[in-house]
């Protein structure tokens, strides 16, 4: 990680803040390390991909997922986490006539546990401001050109509610195993800025 | 009242740059430390997620727009700690 001059000044400021909080007994260095390691190890788009693959091969699971996602993902040992109550998850399914895409216009809310750390552009002012106004144009900037007769639904996340897209199963994948299917799913597909 | 963070539907921020993303969760060590500090302070009950969001939204507009993503987190954490008397000025 290279750091320019401005970044070095901020790094020093963060170190001072951390030292003061450690000295005051509010947090410990070990605790911070543990938080980071757990986050980086557990939060991954592979979790979202597993959910999608299961929904593609198991119609009953798909129905439960669309009906009550928080309960359904427990079947795969997954959870959304949260401070006190678990964050609410809603999974929205793409069809031949409807494409879904998620955003957080107010900040950066995102199902971290299922999609991993969010991409830089998800947090950018450009994405947050424009995807709700000109979603078709924004998706085209990602290389996703949807036919005019496909409606686009944009889901604006909040502090309590998170969304994930269930992409359509690609044609010609009938012979693939659940694991192989999970391997086809990308983070962008789970956000809705890619088809799968 | 709409605050600066409420950018949905606003114009003038230019196109989205998907190619700029490098798949790295953090772009400097200090970003990771701010992330961890925020999580730890929330777990301790020093503040909750809603307070954190509110603090980010109270960053003065010019500062908000000029700051990077994790700079906003840092400004908000510092703001909350000051307000709660856990971080004296200086």
Q: What is the pLDDT of residues A28-82, one digit of tens each?
A: 999 999 999 988 888 899 999 999 999 999 999 999 999 999 999 999 999 987 6
- Whether A185 has a pLDDT exceeding 80, the answer reads yes
Closest to B52 in 3D by CA, of B73, B35, B30, B67: B73
Q: How far apart (Å, rounded) are the C-alpha atoms in residues A164 and A96?
A: 18
For chain A, which domains are there?
5-41 (no CATH), 44-191 (3.90.330.10)
Q: How far apart (Å, rounded) are the C-alpha atoms in residues A174 and A57?
A: 9
The confidence band for A84, taking pLDDT boundaries of 50, 70 and 90, is low
Q: What percent of chain B has pLDDT over 70?
A: 96
Split chain B (90 residues) into runs of 10 and give each run's mean pLDDT: 80 83 83 95 91 93 92 96 82
- For residue B21, give how far its alpha carbon lies from the nearest alpha carbon of chain A (Å): 5
Residues paired with residue A165 on neighbouring β-strands, in sequence order? A92
**In this complex, is the C-beta atom of A19 within 8 Å of any C-beta atom belonging to chain B?**
no
pLDDT in the model for residue B87? 82
A1 and B42 within 8 Å at the Cβ level: the answer is no
Closest to A129 (Cβ–Cβ): which among B9, B50, B53?
B9
Residue A16 token pair: 């001072």
Q: How far apart (Å, rounded) are the C-alpha atoms in residues A172 and A174?
A: 6
Which residues touch B29 (CB under 8 Å, ≥6 apart)?
A1, A11
Question: What integer is the mean pLDDT of A80-93?
Answer: 83
For chain B, which domains are there?
45-90 (1.10.472.20)
**Residue whose token pair is 């400021």:** A13
Instruction: State ipTM.
Output: 0.85
pLDDT in the model for residue A181? 98
pLDDT in the model for residue B64? 93
Which of B3, B25, B68 is the best substitution to test chain A (most A C-beta atoms within 10 A)? B25
């Amino acid at each position: 990680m290279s750091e320019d001059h401005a970044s070095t000044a901020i790094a020093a400021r963060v170190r001072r803040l951390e030292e003061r909080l450690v000295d005051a007994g509010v947090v410990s260095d070990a605790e911070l390390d543990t938080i980071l390691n757990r986050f980086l190890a557990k939060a991954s788009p592979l979790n979202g991909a597993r959910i999608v693959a299961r929904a593609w091969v198991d119609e009953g699971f798909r129905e439960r997922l669309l009906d009550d996602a928080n309960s359904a993902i427990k079947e795969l040992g997954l959870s959304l986490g949260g401070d006190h109550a678990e964050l609410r998850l809603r999974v929205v399914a793409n069809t031949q006539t409807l494409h879904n895409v998620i955003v957080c216009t107010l900040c950066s809310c995102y199902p971290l546990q299922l999609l991993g750390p969010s991409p830089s552009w998800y947090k950018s002012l450009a994405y947050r401001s424009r995807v709700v106004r000109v979603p078709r144009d924004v998706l085209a900037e990602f290389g996703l050109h949807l036919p005019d007769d496909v409606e686009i639904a944009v889901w604006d996340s909040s502090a309590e509610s998170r969304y994930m897209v269930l992409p359509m199963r690609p044609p010609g994948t009938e012979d693939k195993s659940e694991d192989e299917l999970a391997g086809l799913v990308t983070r962008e597909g789970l956000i809705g800025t890619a088809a799968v | 009242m709409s605050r600066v963070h409420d950018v949905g539907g606003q114009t003038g921020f230019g196109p989205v740059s998907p190619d700029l993303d490098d798949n790295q969760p953090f772009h400097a060590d200090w970003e990771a430390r701010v992330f961890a500090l925020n999580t730890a302070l929330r777990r301790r009950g020093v503040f909750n997620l809603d307070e954190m969001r509110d603090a980010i939204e109270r960053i003065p507009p010019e500062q908000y727009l000029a700051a990077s993503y994790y700079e906003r987190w840092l400004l908000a954490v510092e703001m909350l700690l000051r307000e709660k008397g856990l971080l004296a000025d200086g």
